[in-house]
Every structure is written in structure tokens, then in C-alpha cells.
Structure 1
Amino acid sequence: MVTELNEDNLQSYIADNETVVVQYSATWCGNCRIMKPKVKKLASELENVTFVIADAEKFPESRKLATVDNLPTFATFKNGAFVNQVQTNKFDVLKELVNEVV
């Protein structure tokens, strides 16, 4: 399952779930829209991982939890701690990032 944030509360998802993968995106970002269904497919395959989509422009506190210089940026968190991140529109690169924490 993928959760899209409606408020700037990513920190609570990271605290409440063992493994979290975040897609930082924006409404204007074409590559973000391209990656969204791929993220949903990956989320359906990994039930023990929490996937979250955070609008990097609307939610500055959530954005601070990773280094978001380009979109889409994907970040992984394990047991409340930041693990790694990539900026990509390639599914294989995203999958490699996720495999580091599952």
C-alpha cells in the first residue's frame, strides 16, 4: 500500500513503521508521475514495507528528512533512521535502493 501525505507528518510514519520508503515528488514533476504506478506495484509486492509519497514543496519538515535536490527523490528509513537515497526515474535503481532495507 502507498500512502500519500495530506499533512507534513512523515516523521510519524518513520517512527511508527520499521521500514519506510519515501517518494519525494511535486505535482508539476513529470518523472514523479511516471514513477508513481511503479511505486504502487512495488508496494503491492512488499507488504512489510511502508511506502509514502510526500510532496516536497508542500511539506518542508518532511523534506528535511532527506537531501532533496531533484525530483523524484526516493529515501529509505529503517527503525526510525535514514538509510539511503537516490534521485531517479528508473525502476531498477529504485528496486536496488529498496532491496537494501528489506
Structure 2
Amino acid sequence: MILELEKDNLHEIIAANDNVVVQYSAGWCGNCRIMKPKFKKEATTNENITFVIADAEKFPESRKLATVDNLPTFAAFAGGKFKNQVQTNKYNVLKDLIGEVTGN
């Protein structure tokens, strides 16, 4: 499943789902646009993970759930707790982070 945040409620999504991976991005971020289709592709092959796209500029409370000082930032949450994050534009690094959530 993939969701795009429409309000600043990422904490609710993390609490309601066992495994969550978030892409923090912004409309002006070129690398975010490059990674977005790859992120969405992963959502189709990892059905036990909720994938969320969060605009880091529009949703400051959601941004506080990870250390977002560069975009894109990808953050993984398991069991309602922060697990790990990466700041990357490399697909294999994103896949490794997703593997931490799935145990693969």
C-alpha cells in the first residue's frame, strides 16, 4: 500500500501499521522525483509494508519523526518505533532499508 500524506498525521499511520517506510521529499527536489517511481514500485512488491510519501516542507510534525536534513530521506518504522533511515538517491540503498523492515 502506498499513501501520500494529505495532513500532518504520519504518527497515526505509524501507530496503525506494523511496518512503514516513508519517503520525505519536496516538490522542488529533483532527486525526490527520480526516486518516487522506484519507491512506488517497491510498494507493489512488499505488501506487508505501508509506504508513505510525506512532503517534508508541508508537514513539520511528520518530519520530526526522523532526522530530515537532506532530501530525499527514507525512514523505516517497525512496531510503531523508528528503526533506521537513509538519505539517498540510490535504488539499492533504498532496497537495503526496506530489507531491514522485511528481514530480507
Q: Classify the secondary structure of the residue corresponding to 1:100.
A: helix
How high is the sequence identity, in percent, across the aligned residues?
A: 73
Which consecutive residues of structure 2, in runs of 5 or more, have no partner in the other structure?
A: none
Tell me how far apart the structure 1 counterparts of residues 24 and 40 of structure 2 sit (CA, whole Å). Answer: 14
> What is the root-mean-square deviation in Å for CA atoms of aligned residues?
0.4
Tell me how far apart the structure 2 counterparts of residues 37 and 31 of structure 1 sit (CA, whole Å). Answer: 11
Tell me how far apart the structure 1 counterparts of residues 76 and 6 of structure 2 sit (CA, whole Å). Answer: 20
Q: What are the superposed Cα offsets for residues 19-47 of structure 1, whole Å, 9 maximum, x if unpaired?
A: 00000000000000000100011110000
Tell me how far apart the structure 1 counterparts of residues 41 and 93 of structure 2 sit (CA, whole Å). Answer: 15
Aligned residues: 102
Give the C-alpha shift of residue 2 in structure 1.
1.4
Aligned to 1:57: 57
Q: Classify the secondary structure of the residue corresponding to 1:71.
A: coil
Q: Classify the secondary structure of the residue corresponding to 1:101.
A: helix
Aligned to 2:34: 34
Tell me how far apart the structure 1 counterparts of residues 34 and 91 of structure 2 sit (CA, whole Å). Answer: 10
Tell me how far apart the structure 1 counterparts of residues 89 and 82 of structure 2 sit (CA, whole Å). Answer: 21
Please identify runs of 4+ aligned residues in structure 1 that moved more than 2 A: none
How do residues 1-102 of structure 1 correspond to structure 2 at under 5 angstroms?
1-102=1-102
Q: Give, as a single letter, the amino acid of the residue that structure 2 aligns with 1:41.
A: K
TM-score for both structures, normalised by structure 2 = 0.97
Which consecutive residues of structure 1, in runs of 5 or more, have no partner in the other structure?
A: none
